[in-house]
């Protein structure tokens, strides 16, 4: 329990650190009001408040009404308060489930996240399923044929999959399976679950194939090492079948590297989703983050950052728990 409490405290600390850095960056790169009332109006009205301009009518198109809007916006978004106080207020709102309001759409950020997040989670979940379903039997087959033609061909193929960028792989799959053969739809369809899953097959393969290559290389190497251990040699001497030896004795202790990379690859998976959602026009969280960054919609960017950071640390926390299941020594030490 002590170890569990310590890990949970570390989880909260990491999320707070990421959110503080993101909040500070968003509020120091430029005045958020530039995106609400415009750069010229915000600068002119701030100059009036500072006493640098006496007559706002002399400032081109800026009017007194603009300055009223600026004052109301600064009050609404608490922009007159110091940065630490604003951050504390923002964290307090997050705890209550209030992610703020989008500058551009004037709708709650939580509404944007609730609409976009499930699509991204489904995409990344399907990608991981494809990666594990492909890599585990692939690695088992290669490990039993180590240094033979099949093993060498598999290794070369894995390096090729790793070398191909996500966007290039996505374009290739899109051309063959959508444009040429017309097997999958050309755009994301959300009418029902079946269409949604069909629309996500190609994007999930685009994300999952490089992951499968990574998992294959790690699991293949660990399996080859494990199959040479004394307890495996003893099992073979007892006349146990290769299937029994693999799934009862060899596979479980060979999964540590793969499980570790599974957690670390979460960041790469999220980064890949940003690109894949653009290529396949999927209205997911990654695409919302890109669009909000282009439009300087700070509340949406911060909300998406909080969700991504929280998901990352939770997955790595789950990986730590998985170690306890896979290795009894870790469980005893905990």
Encode pLDDT of 127-152 as tens digits: 999 999 999 999 999 998 888 999 99
Q: Rounded distance, CA 142 to CA 161, Å?
A: 16
Q: What is the pLDDT, as a whole number, of residue 264?
A: 77
Q: Rounded distance, CA 160 to CA 180, Å?
A: 23
pTM of the model: 0.82
Can you tell me the mean pLDDT for 25-32? 72
CA dihedral in degrees (213, 216, 222, 224; nearest 10)?
A: -120
High-pLDDT (> 70) share of the chain, %: 83
Can you tell me the mean pLDDT for 241-254? 88
Q: What is the pLDDT, as a whole number, of residue 64?
A: 55
Dihedrals φ, ψ of 175, to 5°?
Answer: -65, -50
Q: What is the pLDDT, as a whole number, of residue 55?
A: 47
User: What is the SS3 assignment for 101?
Assistant: strand
Q: What is the pLDDT, as a whole number, of residue 181?
A: 92
Please name each of the domains of the chain with its CATH number: 37-76 (no CATH), 113-333 (1.10.3720.10)
Of 149, 62, 116, 101, nearest in space to 273 by CA:
116
Q: Is residue 306 packed enough to be buried (19+ CB in 10 Å), middle (13-18) or exposed (0-12)?
A: buried
Can you tell me the mean pLDDT for 91-115? 89
**CA dist list (Å): 223 to 188, 219, 302, 305, 315:** 39, 6, 42, 37, 25
Please state, as a whole number, how many other Cβ atoms lie within 10 Å of the Cβ of residue 194: 9
Of 246, 223, 214, nearest in space to 131 by CA:
214
Confidence band of 36 (pLDDT split at 50, 70, 90): low
Please state, as a whole number, how many other Cβ atoms lie within 10 Å of the Cβ of residue 207: 29
Q: What is the pLDDT, as a whole number, of residue 207?
A: 93
* Residue 224 C-alpha from the chain's centroid: 32
Can you tell me the mean pLDDT for 114-137? 94
Q: What is the pLDDT, as a whole number, of residue 48?
A: 47
Which strand (E) or helix (H) includes residue 318?
A: helix 298-326
Confidence band of 309 (pLDDT split at 50, 70, 90): confident
- At residue 178, does pLDDT exceed 80? yes
Please state, as a whole number, how many other Cβ atoms lie within 10 Å of the Cβ of residue 175: 11
Q: What is the pLDDT, as a whole number, of residue 159?
A: 92
Encode pLDDT of 43-91 as tens digits: 556 554 444 444 444 445 555 566 666 677 777 777 778 888 989 998 9
DSSP string, 190-240: -SSHHHHHHHHHHHHHHHHHHHHHHHHHHHHHHHHHHTTSHHHHHHHHTT-
* Mean pLDDT computed over every residue of the chain: 83
Please state, as a whole number, how many other Cβ atoms lie within 10 Å of the Cβ of residue 199: 23
Q: Rounded distance, CA 6 to CA 252, Å?
A: 27
Who contacts 274 (Cβ-Cβ below 8 Å, separation ≥6)? Answer: 286, 287, 289, 290
Cα angle 215-219-225, degrees, rounded to a multiple of 5: 160
Determine contact, residues 216/255, Cβ cutoff 8 Å.
Answer: no
- At residue 18, does pLDDT exceed 60? yes
Determine contact, residues 208/122, Cβ cutoff 8 Å.
Answer: no
Confidence band of 195 (pLDDT split at 50, 70, 90): confident
Encode pLDDT of 276-299 as tens digits: 998 898 999 988 998 888 887 888
The more confidently predicted of residues 161 and 187 is: 161
CA dihedral in degrees (91, 95, 97, 103; nearest 10)?
A: 0
Q: What is the pLDDT, as a whole number, of residue 304?
A: 92
- At residue 334, does pLDDT exceed 70? no
Q: Rounded distance, CA 249 to CA 233, Å?
A: 11
Q: What is the largest CA-CA distance in the chain?
A: 96
High-pLDDT (> 90) share of the chain, %: 33
- Cross-strand bridge partners of residue 101: 108
Confidence band of 330 (pLDDT split at 50, 70, 90): low
């Amino acid at each position: 329990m002590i170890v569990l409490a310590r890990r949970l405290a570390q989880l909260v600390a990491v999320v707070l650190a990421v959110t503080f850095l993101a909040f500070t960056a968003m509020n120091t790169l430029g005045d958020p009001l530039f995106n609400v009332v415009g750069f010229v109006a915000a600068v002119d009205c701030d100059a009036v408040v500072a006493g640098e301009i006496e007559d706002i009518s002399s400032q081109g198109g800026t009017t007194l009404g603009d300055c009223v809007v600026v004052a109301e916006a600064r009050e609404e978004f608490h922009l007159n308060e110091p940065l630490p106080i604003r951050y504390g207020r923002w964290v307090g709102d997050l705890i209550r489930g209030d992610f703020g309001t989008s500058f551009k759409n004037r709708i709650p950020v939580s509404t944007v996240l609730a609409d976009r997040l499930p699509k991204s989670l489904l995409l990344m979940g399907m990608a991981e399923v494809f990666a594990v379903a492909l890599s585990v039997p692939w690695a088992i087959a290669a490990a039993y044929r180590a240094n033979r033609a099949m093993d060498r061909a598999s290794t070369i193929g894995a390096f090729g999959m790793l070398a191909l960028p996500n966007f290039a792989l996505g374009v290739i799959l899109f051309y063959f399976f959508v444009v040429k053969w017309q097997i999958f739809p050309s755009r994301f369809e959300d009418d029902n679950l079946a269409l949604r899953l069909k629309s996500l097959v190609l994007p999930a393969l685009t994300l999952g194939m490089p992951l499968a290559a990574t998992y294959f290389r790690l699991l293949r190497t660990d399996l080859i090492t494990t199959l040479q251990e004394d307890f495996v040699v003893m099992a073979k001497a007892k006349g146990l079948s290769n299937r029994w030896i693999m799934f009862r004795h060899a596979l479980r202790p060979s999964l540590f590297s793969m499980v570790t990379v599974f957690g670390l690859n979460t960041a790469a998976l999220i980064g890949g989703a940003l690109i894949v959602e653009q290529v396949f026009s999927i209205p997911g969280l990654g695409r919302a983050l890109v669009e909000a960054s282009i439009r300087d919609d700070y509340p949406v960017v911060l909300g998406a950052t909080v969700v991504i950071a929280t998901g990352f640390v939770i997955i790595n926390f789950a990986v730590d728990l998985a170690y306890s299941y896979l290795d009894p020594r870790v469980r005893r030490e905990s």
